[in-house]
Amino acid sequence: MMLPLKEAIMTDAAGRSTIDGLRFKLVFTASLLAAFSFSAAAMAQNIRGAATGPTTAPGYDHPGQYMHVKDVKPADNMYPVVPHPEQDQAAREKLDALHRKTDKKPNIFIFLMDDTGWMDPGFNGGGVSLGAATPNMDKLAGEGLILTSSYSTPSCSPTRATIHTGQNPLHHGILRPPMYGEAGGLDGATTLPQLLKKQGYLTQGVGKWHMGENKGSLPQNNGYDDYVGFLGVSDMYTEWRDIYFNPEVALSPSRFKMMEDDNFSHYEVHCASADKDKCENGRLIDLTYIKDLDEHWLEVSLGFLDRMKGSKQPFFLYHATRGCHFDNYPSDKWAGKSTARTVYGDCMVEMDDIFGKLVEKLQEIGELDNTLILFLGGDNGPECEIPPFGHTPFRGCKGSSWEGGVRSSTFAYWRGMIKPRKSDGLFDFADLLPTALSLAGAPGAKLAHEFPKRTYIDGVDQASFLVADDGLSARRSRPYTLNQYFAGIRVDEFKGVWTGEIENAIVQKGDWGGFSGAIFTDSGGGVAFNLYTNPKEDVSIGIRHIPMMVPLLQAAGAYMQDLIKYPPQFKIGFLSNNPPVYNVLPKLQELLKENMTKRGVGRPSP
């Protein structure tokens, strides 16, 4: 028999009904469960979004961004790379097919200009818009691979040595341009033309050398079968002759004689492999002949290409122009040829014509399909101390490690082999040597066997980046150097900086640039830039974007360890009161090495 509800309700000792307590417990428990369920659901659904709620956007991963990717060293003395095995295989198949067709290794042609800015050629936004049309450069760039993040070093000689050694300035030791016959240079280095000769190449150099005038640094002692050009830099031959630029010398008979008698090369030279002791002097480079140098060097390169017609031997041609380094003296043929009608603009138009004629000659002799053309628009950024000068959309100028000082207009062209496109994948001029040797027969880790074990190779093999359809860069990071300093590092669009130049720190009047500022050797530790949102590098995002700062520090720490194990050398350097920490004292070096080994910098690689 069922009792009525009111009779089933129990009472406590005080006579209070327990149903109120039961109801409270049930409600409270349900509330807890609901709250917990809501909180868990909310947490699970808002792992990515904002405090106001989760995002429904899935986001995108872009090919060639490597912040989350681990790079690996091909050998202990080689800079780490991002492996692309399928891409490497695709490139190898294309190269093998070409070899079956030509029955010889590919030719390599490097065209290097002087002191031009990233934005000077039309393919990077300059050209016609700056009053100096570059139709030949633009046409070939549009049919090749334009490298929008291609890097030189901050100045001339260090960049030329980087091209020739596959090392950045800290490792090859030429930290600045040698001037007026200063001692030091490539002497003793393992160089690109040396290695290509071992692979069966004929090597021809034309134009500006500027990597040392001593015997061991001469072109013929660094792998060139033949070299025609000058050993120094353009202004070294003319500035002291000009009554407007250096009246203190040109209008002083005794000082002028001092310069005439000084022990530096005053001539165009011909350096032949048959004479290892010296180069033969040609014409005196004065205020007349300086106007015609680039035209003469064009004839030398055209003559070389004519001689290579029908040859079964592959060739390496390195053509380094005089233009457009100051001072530019256009000949009557070119004066006023640019619509800008400046000596710099006239020089750019002339350089475009020269480049176009060299490409036409490759077509004429039947070698265009078998030649990799590497156009390097500048050995550094524009020289902003001497107007008129080049153009860059980035911060800084020649002599600095800001983007404007080291980002170069660059493209690679190889008809039928390189798919026309643009890429912002990282590319360093140090990569030219490993890439050329990869094509010649020593790819990847095999290159380490061509160098002494104590020599560090900063360049990486980018052959498959260039040749594979939609190829990606093999470089995850790129170190920046400035004089004797390891100054910063880039991964993807992020750049960390701890050493740099404040270009107007000393003078605020006149034309100032990379060589006239002051260097800070330490930042506050959190300076970084997003080069996509802030290419001018004037807003630091390091503290707000610490998740990106940490892997930047890791990459920097890994390279610092390499600098300790493979120490920098200083062949030609700067006077300084502040040497870098990794090269001060052996004891300090040991302490730094111990600290890096135990603790490192940043977190481990992905």
**Is the pLDDT at 156 greater than 50, yes or no?**
yes
Q: Tokens 């202990």 correspond to what residue? A: 76
- Of 183 and 469, the structure prediction assigns the larger pLDDT to 469
Q: Tokens 């920097």 correspond to what residue? A: 556
CB 579 within 8 A of CB 485: no
The DSSP call for residue 572 is: B
Cα distance between residue 321 and residue 111, in whole Å: 8
Q: Round the CA-based radius of gyration of the chain to a whole number and report it.
A: 30
- Residue 512: which pLDDT band, with cuts at 50, 70 and 90? confident
Mean of all residue pLDDT scores within the chain: 91
Cα distance between residue 449 and residue 420, in whole Å: 34
Q: Across the chain, which distance is largest between two alpha carbons, in Å? A: 135
> How much is the pLDDT for 184?
84
> How much is the pLDDT for 34?
52
Signed CA dihedral, 163, 175, 293, 283: sign only: negative
Cα distance between residue 408 and residue 156, in whole Å: 12
**Is the pLDDT at 25 greater than 90, yes or no?**
no
Q: How many residues does this entry show for the chain?
A: 606
> How much is the pLDDT for 464?
98
Could you tell me where the DSSP H helices lie in 251-342? Answer: 253-261, 293-307
- Of 45 and 399, the structure prediction assigns the larger pLDDT to 399
Query: Looking at residues 202-216, what average pLDDT do you find?
Result: 96
- Residue 367: which pLDDT band, with cuts at 50, 70 and 90? very high
CB atoms within 10 A of CB 40: 10
- For domain 85-383+390-472, the question of CATH label 3.40.50.970 is answered with no
**Is the pLDDT at 207 greater than 50, yes or no?**
yes
**Is the pLDDT at 602 greater than 70, yes or no?**
no
The pLDDT tens digits for 267-278 are 999 999 999 999
The pLDDT tens digits for 169-203 are 999 999 999 999 888 899 999 999 999 999 999 99
The DSSP call for residue 524 is: -
Cα distance between residue 406 and residue 157, in whole Å: 13
Signed CA dihedral, 432, 434, 436, 438: sign only: negative
Query: Of the given ranges (56-65, 73-82, 513-522), which has the lowest mean pLDDT?
Result: 513-522
CB 10 within 8 A of CB 22: no
- Of 577 and 365, the structure prediction assigns the larger pLDDT to 365
Show Cβ contacts of residue 360 under 8 Å, excluding neighbours closer than 6 positions: none
**Is the pLDDT at 21 greater than 60, yes or no?**
no
> How much is the pLDDT for 510?
85
The model scores a pTM over 0.75: yes
> How much is the pLDDT for 423?
98
Cα distance between residue 350 and residue 322, in whole Å: 11
- Residue 601: which pLDDT band, with cuts at 50, 70 and 90? low
Hey, where are the domains in the chain?
A: 85-383+390-472, 491-598
> What percent of the chain lies above the pLDDT cut of 90?
83
Which DSSP helix (H) or strand (E) runs through 226? strand 226-230
Cα distance between residue 131 and residue 16, in whole Å: 98
Show Cβ contacts of residue 187 under 8 Å, excluding neighbours closer than 6 positions: 212, 214, 215, 216, 217, 221, 571
What is residue 123's three-state secondary structure? helix
Query: Of the given ranges (37-41, 253-257, 334-338, 517-521), which has the lowest mean pLDDT?
Result: 37-41
Cα distance between residue 309 and residue 60, in whole Å: 50
The DSSP call for residue 223 is: T
User: Alpha carbon of 375 to those of 93, 294, 320, 606: distances in Å?
Assistant: 25, 16, 11, 34
The pLDDT tens digits for 471-507 are 999 999 999 999 999 999 999 999 999 999 999 999 9
**What is the per-residue DSSP string for 358-404?**
HHHHHHHTT-GGGEEEEEE--SSS--TTSSS----SSS--TTS-SHH
> How much is the pLDDT for 14?
45
- Residue 11: which pLDDT band, with cuts at 50, 70 and 90? very low
> How much is the pLDDT for 241?
98
Cα distance between residue 218 and residue 81, in whole Å: 33
Query: Of the given ranges (222-231, 410-419, 502-511), which has the lowest mean pLDDT?
Result: 502-511
The DSSP call for residue 11 is: B
- Residue 432: which pLDDT band, with cuts at 50, 70 and 90? very high
Query: Looking at residues 386-408, what average pLDDT do you find?
Result: 97
What is residue 207's three-state secondary structure? strand
**Is the pLDDT at 2 greater than 70, yes or no?**
no
Cα distance between residue 373 and residue 107, in whole Å: 9
The pLDDT tens digits for 287-341 are 999 999 999 999 999 999 999 999 999 999 999 999 999 999 999 999 999 999 9
Burial class (CB in 10 A: 0-12, 13-18, 19+), 375: buried
Cα distance between residue 592 and residue 225, in whole Å: 44
Strands (E), 452-499: 477-482, 485-491, 494-497
CB 407 within 8 A of CB 149: yes
